[in-house]
Amino acid sequence: MSERPPPLHRIPPAIAAVEDYRPFARERLGEAAWAYFDGAAADETTAADNRAAFGRLRLAGRVLADLAGGDTALTLFGQTLAHPIVLAPVAYQTLAHPDGERASALAAAAMGGAMVVSTQAGLTLEEIAAATPAPLWFQLYIQTDRAFTRRLVGRAEAAGYRALVVTVDAPVSGVRNREQRAGFALPPGVEAVNLRGLQAPPAAAAGRIAFGTPLLEQAPTWRDLDWLRSITTLPILAKGILCADDATRAIAHGVDGVIVSNHGGRTLDTLPATIDALPAVAAAVGGRVPLLLDGGIRRGTDVLKALALGASAVLIGRPYVYGLAAAGASGVAHVLQILRTELELAMALTGRRRLADVDATTIWRG
């Protein structure tokens, strides 16, 4: 087996678009790690449709607009960001690059953006926070051990995290056949370090598959959002909403933001593409809280389409992991630079000077 090439020290001209990083990342990741980061659930239909759905939308070009003084700045939860592209929570980033989440956080800071740190990060939430001035949000899986979960929240608060992003769409993992075929397992030295000390739930009784197991019997419910709201003053975002009724209910239970997401197609296959689900959720939210979209972003035009259909910002996952695997912090920063450049050009060519000017008329209706 040939040795994999080291991370890039210079970005080659061949990398002109975000997707150009993908083959460079593939060369630097083993089969199992590639299956983990690039793969999705079952037949990976939803993962593919997340991207394809953006291609079904067309933008409405506008001419002779006054573009003087334009920018992409916004304020989210009291934080001023240079652009509406947030790094999504991705677990085990030290599997992609030795610097892991530290490199991603540094890149977010360099590009004036924010990052959501995974509960299952390969580095402690404290050392990631200490490495960067970027606004950091903490992604939280509510554990079966609620006391442990409370301590995680306290650690995030003490480390200066600005918001909690609660993943609500994954009480169990999806059927990840690509990982199964590749025999994925975490190698020595890679672990969810922030979960050290967490006691595993009791083993399932004989004959039980999912229902009736401790994992599902103790899975989070709407009551846990109420509980979480009672133990923290940080803004809470619910990530994993696809249904308008769920968005309305989440707001009623005290969340401060909603993230339309299907977990990158990694949980239940054949869910709708997030950009297809966005308009109905946006209508239900009605501007009461910020609305973000996660899933399928590969171009600045994708970002613009999401904003036009009601999102305040977007999250990216796989694209920056490709950059991380290929070139470390420089690769992640370059991914953000590419997307922001493409967004600004798309805004200019659709006559939109600022993000507040982006609305439904940005989409061509024929």
How far apart, in Å, are the Cα atoms of 227 and each of 7, 165, 170?
44, 15, 19
Alpha-carbon dihedral 90, 326, 134, 293, rounded to 10 degrees? -50
CA distance linking residue 46 with residue 271, whole number of Å: 6
Helix boundaries (H) for the chain: 21-28, 31-38, 45-55, 100-110, 125-130, 146-158, 177-182, 214-217, 222-231, 244-252, 274-285, 300-308, 318-349
Specify the pairing of strand 136-140 against strand 115-117: parallel
> Which residues are annotated as catalytic?
263
Task: Select from 88, 95, 97, 89 the least CA-distant residue to 184.
Answer: 95
Specify the pairing of strand 115-117 against strand 74-76: unpaired
Q: Which residue has the tokens 């994999």?
A: 4
Angle, vertex CA 180, rays to CA 175 and CA 182, nearest 5? 140
CA distance linking residue 315 with residue 137, whole number of Å: 12
Q: Which residue has the tokens 């995680």?
A: 152
CA distance linking residue 58 with residue 21, whole number of Å: 25
Task: Select from 189, 194, 197, 192 the least CA-distant residue to 161.
Answer: 194
Contacts of 345 (CB under 8 A, 6+ apart): 300
Number of CB atoms found within 10 A of residue 17's CB: 15
Task: Select from 99, 139, 148 the least CA-distant residue to 120.
Answer: 139
CA distance linking residue 309 with residue 285, whole number of Å: 12
